[in-house]
Amino acid sequence: MSASLDIRLKRANKVYHEGEVLAGVVVIVSKETVQHQGISLTMEGLVNLQLSSKSVGVFEAFYNSVKVRPIQLITSNIEVVKPGKVPGGKTEIPFEFPLHTKGNKVLYETYHGVFVNIQYTLRCDMKRSLLAKDLSKTCEFMVHCLPQKAKLQPTPVDFNITPETLQNIRERSLLPKFLIRGHLDATNCVITQPLTGELVVQSSDVAIKSIELQLVRVETCGCAEGYARDATEIQNIQIAEGDVCHSLPIPIYMVFPRLFTCPTLETTNFKVEFEVNVVIVLHDDHLITENFPLKLCRV
Amino acid sequence: MAAVQWHSRVRRYVAEKQSCGLEVASVEFGDYHPLKSITVTDSKSRRGARKGSTSSSSSSSSSVAMDPLSCMMDGTDPLSMFAAASASEPHLTLPHSISSGDLANGKRKEKEDEVAVDFEPWSSKRGEILARFTTTEKLSINLFMGSDKGKAPCPGSSAVSEKVRTRLEELDDLEEGSQRELLNLSQQDYVNRIEELNQSLKEAWASDQKVKALKIVIQCSKLLSDTDVIQFYPSKFVLITDILDTFGRLVYERIWSMCSDPHPLPVSFTADEVNDTAKETCLNWFFKIASIRELIPRLYVEIALLKCNCFLTKCGIQKTLPRLTAMIRGIGDPLVAVYARAYLCRIGMEVAPHLKDSLNQNFFDLLETFRQIHGDSVQNQLVLQRVEIPVYLTLYSPAIHWILQCVSYRAPESLLTEMMERCKNLGNNALLLNSVMWAFRAEFIATRATDFIGMIKDCDEAGFPKHLLFGSLGRSLACADPPEAERLPILNEAWKVITKVRSSQDYINCAEIWVEFTCRHFTKREVNTVLSDIIKHMTPDRAFEEAYPQLQSVIRKILTYFHDFSVLFSMERFLPFMDMFQKDSVRVEVCRSIMEVFIKHQHEPTRDPVILNALLHVCKTMHDSVNALTLDDDKRSLALLINGFIRMVSFGRDFEQQLSFCVEARATFCNLEPVLVQLIHTVNQLAMETRRVMRGSHSRKTAAFVRACAAYSFITIPSLTSIFSRLNLYLLSGQVALANQCLSQADAFLKAAVSLLPEVPRSVSIEGKMRSSEGFLLDFINNFLSTLLVVPDHPEAGVLYLVRGLLNMVQDYTWEDNSDAKVQVYVSALPLLAAMSQETYLYCIPKVDSNETLYGGDPKFVAEINKLCETLIGQVLDHLKILGRDESVRRQSSLAFSLFGCLLAHGDLRNNKLNQLAVNLWNLSHKHGYCDTQTSVRTLEFIKHLAQQPNMLHISDMVQRLILQSRT
């Protein structure tokens, strides 16, 4: 006697916006009639904040609560079926949840990070008598925040990288000579569009080993009293391998990964920002990095 | 049973023939024929008249000239039907030939954008590359992915959804399980490994492990960034792109099948028709690929999935192609980059052949990065791997050829000119030039051949080998013709360079190509010069031993263009050229190809001494290759070729010359039996031809000549091993001798045949199986008997010397047990004897007196015959008796019936005894009911019909006594 429980959302991509209705069906498949004490659905949106180990010590002193208490964005619970029986075979029970927030809360966009996680889940529970185990099924759905009203102005950035432009080096004289030009088409990017630009190796004394784009998230947790700011890598995309042809433009192209990026977010308790590093690795293992803060938005 | 006196029926052959009056019945071709199927589905409209099998006799008169078999079967033969179907299908390569207004026109037009048959497909290049780029060095497959670890798209975190986490774990598993580097693989091992990966990709996919499948593909494409053992790189590319193709197909089909619910997508669907689930899956794939860390795997996998873009948006492919083209610029190693471009072009051509721009862009990018080939990092690598520049450059050829082939496919002339100009302006452009000549239309190259020669000359000697350049040019010129006036200068210029090529292998590779051009446009003089140059180059150090395939190809090309053998053999250098084929098998093969062409194209018999000498030499070579180990099939085909040659030799009226040729040929081809047989036939034919020329009466000289012919046959026949060939040839030669009034020779032939009879084995091997020889022997004896009628008795030997001799042999021959063959021979000898006792014979040979004239119906002679018949009948009857005892009543019945038939036809049934015997035989044959009723009824009807003729009272009496056994 095995019954299975499943949640199917109407939208294949599981993406919803604030104010829309989350609709779908609960599917129960069983060979025989299933006796139960009620089936309920719980929809919940949470922001989980976590502190990195290096800042834990400092914080625990005066701010103990941030780590433990997640911020609830939305919650809702309904009973789908009253206690009773579900006939054998496949039973589909439709449901709908309006995605409305209470008060002045905003539904932030789904985001999976390291120290900040914004996640929306839908859980279905089937309570059963003592003899049988309760059944439960969880399914995540995505929330995209509403498109930005303001028209986005492209903000192209040109850059030149030479030994002289570098900071944070010990022996400038040991560096080989090189000149790398390039530009990003925009630093305020639409999240659904790739990051684009071009890069030209004008000259380089030492052969180039690799050129990479490193996408970095900068997560800030805290409030006025103090905060922890951590930058971690999301992904690293190689755009050139080996000693590329000089003075031939190489495209910069990177797709923003879903879930791991969201529109740049700034709230009272936490911040999520993104940056991109253009990393040039020379054959003698010199690592040259040029950093560009990005502003992501949705249109 | 007492001996029965034989009395032959007196025959009046002329009268009988008239009374029978066999009218010539025309065959009605339109009528029903069992071999003709009832429904004739004729695919060719011009044969419309023959439609339907019921069209009766209307076509009978017209089809007389046609081959009766083929016209019976026409239209229903499945093979010719296919041929007709393919012939009627308009060629796709000629879209202009399709008349407008055609219903199918719209559809065709759509297809114009697509790649047609005139585009050489990748599959044909594939094998070529694999065969050409090999290595003996050790290879390694590095499936190590450590650098990726921890940098995977998302680092583990507590909030990651369950699904993602399991997938990540799966990924880690695979990484750990396959963190290995396989070293020291031989090339074959390497190929096997790759094939294993291909299999595990399919398995992973089939067991729904999509992530693992992707992982395998990524690892494989990563191998393409590794240029260790650089000589093998093109082959590696081929192997790995095979896997990528598989992957691309699997993904495409999977997504396609997701949309097939409820009904399958049309072939040309738009993105709007794709459902959300499929789109989401597709999008997922692209997001996954976009996060592949390394450039080369990301590029290759994305190219492999290019086709899937059409599920998402209408112009997805259009947007992706230029982006991917630009991304390839990020590949530093020029060789890796050029192959990535080749792959992109290939998939681009498959998926969206109408998008030419990115193909062109690929080529222009290639030109931009061309200088890298001579850059430091490449040079360092070459030094490290100990590869020389010319070898390295040839590694580029397949990829650049392919790119240019895609670019130039149906490209306008102006674009090609532009491309060429760009190549010209680049330094060290030999490599490009070579590919241009390979890939561009041959006509394009041919019209600018002189320019090309100039460009080739300007090329740097140290880089790309020039002989390869000339080779490519020659290949184009072999298919398309340069302007008439330029041809000779082109050949001169080209050959000036070719002849200077040092390495004999390089030389012959190039020369072989140019032979075609030379044969195509010039006379034997130029070809001769070329041949002598080749001989000059290939003879030192026996260089030809390494170049047999090329030399053979030279011969083949010459043979395609020179069908006149007198011209061919008058080329001074042709035979010396042939002498270079010193390896037996190759030599024979060359001879074969020469003979095949000769047989195909020589329609007139020849006596040209040049041809004869040369071909005799060629044939002798073939013949001499035969040894004890030669297969039967080989012997047969060699003999066929030699026979074809012998048939084509004719000295016209100079018969003696012809005979002496046959003598020579016999000496030369003594090991091939079918050739000897052919020679005997030729000589016999020669004798008959002489007779025809002399109108039947030989002069002293010609008589001596035909006797010489007979002698030739007589001494040749015994050297054959096949006993039936010998027998038949003895008989045939005997007949020929008889026809030429060589009585003693004819006697000798026939005597030889008779004395050979005891040697006939009881079983002979036919097509490898042992069969009883009885049937063949009976056939031969019957044939022999009919000849004996006209053979006059030898004055010194007794009456019917040969017939007796034959019958004695038959009696002594050890026939098979339980066989009636001996008695059957006896029965069939009766008609002969009956015919011999006639006053005038059924047939005779002009100028030869048969026994009819010799004996003039002498009663003694007739009595002799009758005695012989008596003995024969006695033997038959005895045998019948034995059969009755052995319970072999069925055999008894049929034998008795055949003797009855013989009596009826040839015996004088007015004789009571004979009459009685006939009736007895009839009854005997019907006694046990084994007689074929239908035959009996027909025979009886015939007898009744006979009885109604005048003077046939005895027959009508007999009819009364013949009882027809009824089945009831």
Give the ipTM of the model, two decimals please. Answer: 0.91
Contact between residue B494 and residue B473 where contact means Cβ atoms under 8 Å apart: yes
**Is residue A212 scored above 90 in pLDDT?**
yes
Closest alpha carbon to B834 in B876, B877, B872, B795:
B872
Contacts of A223 (CB under 8 A, 6+ apart): A63, A268, A269
**Whole-number Å distance between alpha carbons of B183 and B230:** 16
Chain center to CA of A152 = 21
Contact B368 A245 (CB under 8 A): yes
Closest alpha carbon to B239 in B300, B190, B305:
B190
In angstroms, what separates the C-alpha of B204 from chain A's closest C-alpha?
A: 25
Contacts of B529 (CB under 8 A, 6+ apart): none
The alpha carbon dihedral of B227, B233, B238, B240 has a sign of negative
DSSP string of B300-325, one letter each residue:
HHHHHTGGGGGGT-TTHHHHHHHHHH
Chain B residues whose CB is inside 8 A of the A113 CB are 157, 159
The answer as to whether B635 is a domain residue is no
Q: Six-digit token pair at B550?
A: 């090329």
Mean pLDDT of chain A: 86
A147 touches chain B (CB under 8 A): no
Q: How many domains in chain B?
A: 1
Contact B295 A241 (CB under 8 A): yes
The answer as to whether B552 is a domain residue is no
SS3 percent helix, strand, coil of chain A, rounded to 5, is: 5, 55, 35
pLDDT of residue B438: 81
Which one of A232, A237, A245 has the shortest CB-CB distance to B329? A245
* Helices vs. strands in chain A: H and E counts, helices first: 2, 21
Identity at B472, one-letter amino acid code: S
**Whole-number Å distance between alpha carbons of B873 and B186:** 84
Chain A residues whose CB is inside 8 A of the B283 CB are 13
Closest alpha carbon to B350 in B123, B116, B115, B118:
B115
Q: Is A4 left (phi over 0), alpha (psi -120 to 50) or beta?
A: beta
B857: three-class secondary structure by DSSP: coil
Contact B377 A255 (CB under 8 A): no
A11 touches chain B (CB under 8 A): yes
**Whole-number Å distance between alpha carbons of B686 and B658:** 8
Question: Alpha carbon of B622 to those of A77, A81, A85, B593, B610: distances in Å?
Answer: 97, 95, 93, 11, 18
**Strand A135-144 vs strand A15-17: parallel, antiparallel, or unpaired?**
parallel
The answer as to whether B431 is a domain residue is no
Question: Looking at residue B271, what DSSP letter applies?
Answer: G
Which one of B294, B295, B332 has the shortest CB-CB distance to A243? B332
Task: Name the one residue in this structure whose structure tokens are 């561009």.
Answer: B440
In angstroms, what separates the C-alpha of B524 from chain A's closest C-alpha?
A: 53
The answer as to whether B741 is a domain residue is no
Chain B residues whose CB is inside 8 A of the A252 CB are none
Contact B293 A140 (CB under 8 A): no
pLDDT of residue A255: 93
**Whole-number Å distance between alpha carbons of B46 and A230:** 86
The answer as to whether B520 is a domain residue is no
Contact A242 B332 (CB under 8 A): yes
Neighbours of B233 (CB within 10 A): 22
Q: Please give the biggest Cα pair distance in chain B.
A: 130
Identity at B588, one-letter amino acid code: V
DSSP string of A21-85, one letter each residue:
EEEEEEEEEESS-EEES-EEEEEEEEEEE---HHHHHHHHHH--HHHH-PEEEEEEEEEEE-SEE
pLDDT average, residue stretch A35-45: 90
The answer as to whether B462 is a domain residue is no
Q: Six-digit token pair at A222?
A: 């805290």
Burial of residue B213 (CB within 10 Å: 0-12, 13-18, 19+) is buried
Interface of A with B in 225-264 (CB under 8 A): 232-245, 248-251, 253-255, 257-260
Closest alpha carbon to A73 in A98, A48, A40:
A48
Contact A237 B372 (CB under 8 A): no
Residues A194-204: pLDDT tens digits?
999 999 999 98
**Whole-number Å distance between alpha carbons of B440 and B425:** 18
Contacts of B418 (CB under 8 A, 6+ apart): none
For B605-652, the three-class secondary structure string (H helix, E strand, C coil) is CECCHHHHHHHHHHHHHHHHCCCCCCCHHHHHHHHHHHHHHHHCECCC
pLDDT of residue B56: 40
Query: What band does A58 get if pLDDT is binned at 50, 70 and 90?
Result: low
User: What stretch of H or E contains A250?
Assistant: strand A250-254
The answer as to whether B19 is a domain residue is no
* Helices vs. strands in chain B: H and E counts, helices first: 44, 4
pLDDT of residue B104: 40
Q: Six-digit token pair at B214?
A: 């992707």
Neighbours of B138 (CB within 10 A): 14
Q: C-alpha angle B862/B865/B866, rounded to 5°? A: 90
Contact between residue B896 and residue B924 where contact means Cβ atoms under 8 Å apart: yes
Gyration radius of chain A's alpha carbons: 25
Q: Six-digit token pair at B275?
A: 């459902």
**Whole-number Å distance between alpha carbons of B295 and A238:** 5
Contact A138 B162 (CB under 8 A): yes
Residue A195 phi/psi, 5-degree rounding, is -80, 125
Contact between residue A251 and residue B323 where contact means Cβ atoms under 8 Å apart: yes
Of residues A137 and B66, more confidently modeled: A137
The answer as to whether B849 is a domain residue is no
**Whole-number Å distance between alpha carbons of B707 and B705:** 5
Contact between residue A124 and residue A27 where contact means Cβ atoms under 8 Å apart: no
In angstroms, what separates the C-alpha of B209 from chain A's closest C-alpha?
A: 21
Task: Name the interface residues of B facing A (CB cutoff 8 Å).
Answer: 151, 153-155, 157-162, 225, 275-277, 279-280, 283, 286-287, 290-291, 293-296, 298, 323, 326-327, 329-333, 336, 365, 368-369, 371-372, 375-377
Domain of residue B299 covers: 128-314
A202 touches chain B (CB under 8 A): no
pTM score > 0.90 for this model?
no
Question: Looking at residue B719, what DSSP letter applies?
Answer: G
Contact between residue B830 and residue B815 where contact means Cβ atoms under 8 Å apart: no
Chain A residues whose CB is inside 8 A of the B228 CB are none
Which residue does chain B place closest to A252, by CA atoms? B327
Please identify every stretch of chain B with a pLDDT value under 50, giving residue numbers as ranges: 1, 37-112, 144-160, 172-179, 967-968
Cis peptide before B262 (omega within 30 of 0): yes
Gyration radius of chain B's alpha carbons: 42
Mutual angle of helices B632-647 and B609-624, in 10-degree steps: 170
Chain A residues whose CB is inside 8 A of the B159 CB are 48, 112-113, 117, 119
**Whole-number Å distance between alpha carbons of A196 and A211:** 15
Question: Looking at residue A287, what DSSP letter applies?
Answer: E
Chain center to CA of B272 = 52
Q: Six-digit token pair at B184?
A: 């020291």
**Whole-number Å distance between alpha carbons of A254 and A250:** 13
Residues A7-24: pLDDT tens digits?
999 888 889 988 889 999
A117 touches chain B (CB under 8 A): yes
Which residue does chain B place closest to A205, by CA atoms? B376
Neighbours of B856 (CB within 10 A): 9
**Whole-number Å distance between alpha carbons of B415 and B923:** 98
Q: Is A5 left (phi over 0), alpha (psi -120 to 50) or beta?
A: beta
Task: Name the one residue in this structure whose structure tokens are 């429980």.
Answer: A5
**Whole-number Å distance between alpha carbons of B338 and B328:** 9
Contacts of B593 (CB under 8 A, 6+ apart): B552, B555, B556, B559
Closest alpha carbon to A252 in A227, A271, A275, A277:
A277
Of residues A226 and A111, more confidently modeled: A111
